[in-house]
Amino acid sequence: MAALAILVSCSKGKDTSYEISYRVSFEPEDHYIDVRMRYVPAKPDGKAVTFKMPVWAPGYYIIMDYPKYVTGFEAFESSGEPAAWSKSGKNSWVINSSGALDIHYKVFADAVSVADSKVTAEGAFIAPNGVFLYKDIDHPVSVAFTLPDKWKTISTSLPFGDGVYSAEDFDVLYDSPFLIGDHLTKSIEQDGIVYEFAVQRPEGFEESPIAGDFMAGVREAVRMFGDTPYESYHLLLLGRGPGGLEHQSSQADYTAGHWDFETREAYLSELRFMTHEYFHCYNVKAIRPIELGPFDYDKEVFTPLLWFSEGITCYYESLLLEKAGVETPQEHLDFLARYIKDTENTEGRKHMSLRQSSYDIWLNFFNRSANASATTISYYVKGPVLGFLMDLEIQRISGGKKSLDDLMSLLYWRFHKEKGRGFTEDEFWAAAEEVAGGGLGQIRRYVDTTDEIDYDQILTPAGLTLDKETWTLTRN
């Protein structure tokens, strides 16, 4: 069978003490990714070398244990002789080598998850964390794909030029999923930047206004920050399934599996979801708690600020569209009212603070235990409520001169652009009060404790009324 080979090249200017490269092919009928890895040290020293595979993916706060999908692992010296190897932990392979190594293994890929790879006859979705071994994270990497005849297209955020893609290190590779196959691609240029929609199930996509409405939300985000943290942006829109995952220059989302929406609410739900994952390129990838990078791929990374990273992103997924004129003001208020209703009707709000829900997400991301709803709260639910209330308080304290937008911009420019790092919890609250021009102790108390929220105290000065019988939010 004829095949198409595509190369992902290493970048220049980094560690040259060794080269590491991959050639990847596929066994679609059995759902396998076949990985052939080449390791060449500049100065062989005869010492054992250790390679690792991540056990989780940033943005997906649960231990995935990717090595469980690895099978048929074998290593060979450059002479072709087998090299002895052993495991030194669940995600570490130690190989005794006198120099260059050729390593071969397969990865089973048949999960419907944006944090897992999937291979079928029609194509492949590759979540790199569970496919590529690393020796050092801060090292350039090259990968070549050998594709079946019918797979003609690769969509990824990795830069492409002179016939090659580039991954300057493994952080970049792991943050750049691939959609491979014969899917639809549609590119839109806005303000000199190309946005590519890669659509695995394109029924109705070309006729839908969703791409244009998404771009309207993007325009509002870029206007807010006055900058874009990417050179191009790619949406990998998969078939029917749950979940999405943000990346610095892309997002990977399972969808409804089609683009012919029967109701306005179904349409807005899909559009908000895409907008949510997009806004993460600012809020969590650029604007981030200090714990979220550089990453330790061996274990959990704990932070008390995921309520801000995720909850405020939930708030903006609707707010950006309302500002762009895609949503009506009442649709935005209805969106917020549903979160308030869900928060107040959850018994867990009496037992878990929003701050604690952030820290304990590693225990509760997929907690399906019988008492979960009675003892826990989700920052995806209560987080946007606090984002909304914080926005109103900043506007009130500043006399309408500032808003949450100004806090987002300050965090982006001060910490991401100027300091090149994330912020601590104390730095976050200090920045929020700096923008507001006064104390935000009440908002912080609602984040840090299980105290009942006095909605009327914050909503009434803003000209808003919450009807707790019908859970509707209206302007006076």
DSSP string, 86-103: EEEETTEEEE--SS-EEE
Is residue 113 pLDDT above 60, yes or no? yes
Is residue 162 pLDDT above 70, yes or no? no
Going by pLDDT thresholds of 50, 70 and 90, the confidence category of residue 450 is very high
Is residue 194 pLDDT above 90, yes or no? yes
Is residue 263 pLDDT above 60, yes or no? yes
Going by pLDDT thresholds of 50, 70 and 90, the confidence category of residue 5 is very low
Burial class (CB in 10 A: 0-12, 13-18, 19+), 184: middle
Among residues 131, 160, 182, the one where a domain terminates is 182
Higher-confidence position of 98 and 213: 213
Instruction: Please indicate, yes or no, whether residues 154 and 259 belong to a single structural domain of this protein.
Output: no
CA distance 234 to 195: 6
Q: In what order do the strands lie in the sheet with 193-199?
A: 184-190, 193-199, 233-240, 250-255, 244-246
CA distance 22 to 34: 10
Among residues 182, 197, 220, the one where a domain terminates is 182
Among residues 182, 217, 252, the one where a domain terminates is 182
Is residue 242 pLDDT above 50, yes or no? yes
CA distance 208 to 258: 10
The answer for 58, left when phi > 0, alpha when psi is -120 to 50, beta otherwise, is beta
* CB 217 within 8 Å of CB 321: yes
Instruction: Please indicate, yes or no, whether residues 451 and 325 belong to a single structural domain of this protein.
Output: yes
User: Considering the chain, what is the average pLDDT of its residues?
Assistant: 95
In this prediction, residue 80 carries a pLDDT of 93
Write out the residue range of the structural domain in which residue 262 sits: 187-475
Is residue 3 pLDDT above 80, yes or no? no
pLDDT tens for 347-397 read 999 999 999 999 999 999 988 888 998 999 999 999 999 999 999 999 999
Instruction: Please indicate, yes or no, whether residues 312 and 423 belong to a single structural domain of this protein.
Output: yes
CA distance 351 to 372: 11
Instruction: Please indicate, yes or no, whether residues 119 and 228 belong to a single structural domain of this protein.
Output: no
In this prediction, residue 97 carries a pLDDT of 87
3-state secondary structure of 454: coil
Going by pLDDT thresholds of 50, 70 and 90, the confidence category of residue 161 is low
Closest alpha carbon to 182 in 4, 36, 7: 4
Average pLDDT on 394-415 reads: 98
Tell how strand 250-255 and strand 244-246 pair up.
Answer: antiparallel
Helix, strand counts (H, E) of the chain: 14, 22
CATH number, residue 86: 2.60.40.3650
pLDDT tens for 175-191 read 999 999 999 999 999 99
Closest alpha carbon to 167 in 143, 133, 187, 136: 143
Instruction: Please indicate, yes or no, whether residues 441 and 324 belong to a single structural domain of this protein.
Output: yes
CATH number, residue 203: 1.10.390.10
**Contacts by 322-331, CB closer than 8 A, 24 or more apart:** 323/220, 324/213, 324/216, 324/217, 324/219, 324/220, 325/216, 326/213, 326/216, 326/217, 326/271, 327/268, 329/475, 330/474, 331/268
Is residue 2 pLDDT above 80, yes or no? no
Going by pLDDT thresholds of 50, 70 and 90, the confidence category of residue 48 is very high
Domain count for the chain, please give it: 2
Going by pLDDT thresholds of 50, 70 and 90, the confidence category of residue 96 is very high
Instruction: Please indicate, yes or no, whether residues 399 and 283 belong to a single structural domain of this protein.
Output: yes
The type of residue at 207 is: E
Is residue 4 pLDDT above 50, yes or no? no
Average pLDDT on 323-349 reads: 98
Instruction: Please indicate, yes or no, whether residues 289 and 398 belong to a single structural domain of this protein.
Output: yes
Instruction: Please indicate, yes or no, whether residues 321 and 396 belong to a single structural domain of this protein.
Output: yes
In this prediction, residue 1 carries a pLDDT of 38
Beta strand residue intervals within 127-243, DSSP E:
142-147, 153-155, 160-161, 164-167, 178-181, 184-190, 193-199, 233-240
